[in-house]
C-alpha cells in the first residue's frame, strides 16, 4: 500500500501508523465478526478501526455490512418451498434493499462507530429539514 492510502485518520488523529503496523494489529476473525455485528474492539486495534472507518473504500465497507447481515435470511428464504421465481425475487429484494440501506445510512453509522471507539465524528450529523 502507498502512504497516501493510510494517511486518512479520524479527525486529526496521529497519522504516523504505517500500513505494516495496521496489518499487524488486525483483529482475529472472531474479533472482526464481533466488530461487524456492532461490537467495540479493544484499543489495540485503534489504527485498524480508524483505517476501516476513514480510509479509502469506507462507504463500500459500511454498505456491505447490512448485506452480510441479510445474507442468512436470504439463504433461508431461498430454501423455503415455492416457485423459483418468487424465491429468487425475495432473495434479490433482501440483498438489494440491504445494499441500498447500507449506502443510505453509511455516513450516520460511520460516525456512530467512530464515537463508539473513541474517535470524533468525521461529518456533522444534520437534520434533513427542507424549508
Task: Report pLDDT for 19.
Answer: 52
pTM of the prediction? 0.65
pLDDT in tens, 95-124: 999 999 999 998 888 989 999 888 888 865
Q: What is the mean pLDDT of the chain?
A: 80
Helical (H) or strand (E) element with 31:
helix 29-36
Task: Report pLDDT for 5.
Answer: 43
DSSP assignment of 32-96 equals: HHHHHTTPPPPGGGHHHHHHHHHSTTHHHHHHHHHHHHHHHHHHHHHHSSS-HHHHHHHHHHHHH
Q: Which of 19, 18, 45 is nearest to 32 (CA)?
A: 45
CB 7 within 8 A of CB 15: yes
Task: Report pLDDT for 117.
Answer: 87
CB neighbours (10 Å) of residue 113? 19
Amino acid at each position: 500500500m502507498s502512504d497516501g492510502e493510510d494517511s486518512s485518520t479520524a479527525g486529526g488523529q496521529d497519522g504516523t501508523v504505517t500500513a505494516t503496523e495496521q496489518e499487524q494489529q488486525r483483529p482475529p476473525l472472531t474479533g472482526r465478526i464481533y466488530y461487524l455485528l456492532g461490537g467495540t474492539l479493544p484499543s489495540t486495534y485503534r489504527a485498524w478501526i480508524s483505517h476501516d472507518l476513514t480510509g479509502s473504500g469506507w462507504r463500500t465497507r459500511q454498505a456491505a455490512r447490512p448485506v452480510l447481515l441479510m445474507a442468512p435470511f436470504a439463504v433461508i428464504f431461498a430454501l423455503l418451498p415455492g416457485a423459483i421465481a418468487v424465491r429468487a425475487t425475495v432473495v434479490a429484494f433482501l440483498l438489494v434493499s440491504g445494499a441500498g440501506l447500507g449506502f443510505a445510512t453509511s455516513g450516520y453509522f460511520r460516525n456512530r462507530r467512530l464515537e463508539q471507539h473513541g474517535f470524533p465524528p468525521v461529518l456533522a450529523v444534520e437534520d434533513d429539514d427542507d424549508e
